[in-house]
């Protein structure tokens, strides 16, 4: 579905936003999705975060942290009802077949929420945006990638790390065949 239609429809359900805030949110999300092609958008009006804020836009996909060696982080970014005046909630998307192997100083355990990232902590409307946040996260995870294991895809279970180049070569070549 067209991201513009999705975001506009989500915001049309909420009359609390001023025109300036609506345009800021639409612009921010469209720029973000345009740069990060693998991200999907959905409305999450029934989801409430741990602080009682309603999630209005749910972005999910893979953040390519590094291309050489290839490393990705499955990422979820939730925009809550006070966005863009407050920063989004960011977490690593974990499911039954993946988990964080090595602790990361910016990840809460066991929730996998990203914490203590200056760009989120010091979010400043209208100067802060999602594209800058992604650049900050790429640099953060590039310096210390959280190693995720996906047991069903790989013989040595290290598909999202540069720890095993043979594994990456084997996994991606076997998926192409």
pTM given for the model: 0.69
Q: What integer is the mean pLDDT of 20-34? A: 80
Q: For residue 107, how far is the Cα from the chain centroid?
A: 13
Residue 55's alpha-carbon distances to 51, 101, 137, in angstroms, are: 11, 28, 21
Higher pLDDT, 96 or 61: 61
Give the best-scoring range by mean pLDDT among 26-35, 88-97, 124-133: 124-133
Containing 173, the helix (H) or strand (E) segment is helix 165-176
Q: What does the pLDDT read at residue 172?
A: 40
Which DSSP letter does residue 47 get?
-
Nearest of 52, 106, 44 to residue 82 by alpha carbon? 52
Written as six digits, the tokens of 59 are 């972005």
Q: What does the alpha-carbon distance between residue 165 and residue 162 come to, in Å, rounded to a whole number? A: 6
Of the pLDDT bands very low, low, confident and very high (cuts 50, 70, 90), residue 177 is: very low
**Could you read off the pLDDT of 107-128 as tens digits, one per residue?**
766 667 777 777 777 899 888 8
Exposed / middle / buried, residue 57 (Cβ in 10 Å: 0-12, 13-18, 19+): buried
Q: Around 136, how many Cα atoms within 13 Å sit in the side-chain half-sphere?
A: 18
Q: What is the CA radius of gyration of the chain?
A: 17
Mean pLDDT across the chain:
71
Max Cα-Cα span within the chain: 53
- CATH architecture of the domain 3-148 equals Roll (3.10)
Of the pLDDT bands very low, low, confident and very high (cuts 50, 70, 90), residue 167 is: very low
**Could you read off the pLDDT of 29-67 as tens digits, one per residue?**
877 777 765 677 776 555 666 667 778 888 888 887 777
């Amino acid at each position: 579905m067209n991201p513009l239609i999705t975001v506009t429809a989500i915001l049309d359900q909420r009359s609390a936003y001023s025109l300036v805030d609506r345009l800021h949110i639409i612009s921010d999300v469209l720029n973000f999705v345009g740069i990060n092609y693998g991200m999907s958008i959905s409305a999450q009006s029934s989801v409430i975060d741990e602080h009682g804020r309603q999630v209005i836009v749910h972005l999910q996909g893979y953040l390519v942290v590094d291309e050489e060696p290839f490393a990705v982080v499955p990422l979820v970014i939730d925009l809550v009802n006070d966005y863009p005046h407050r920063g989004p909630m960011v977490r690593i998307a974990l499911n039954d077949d993946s988990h964080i192997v090595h602790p990361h100083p910016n990840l809460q355990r066991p929730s996998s929420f990203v914490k203590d990232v200056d760009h989120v902590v010091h979010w400043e409307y209208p100067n802060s945006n999602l594209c800058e946040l992604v650049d900050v996260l790429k640099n953060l995870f590039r310096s210390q990638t959280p190693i995720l294991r996906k047991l069903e895809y790989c013989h040595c279970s290290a598909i999202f790390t540069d720890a095993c180049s043979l594994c990456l070569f084997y996994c991606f070549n076997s998926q192409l065949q």
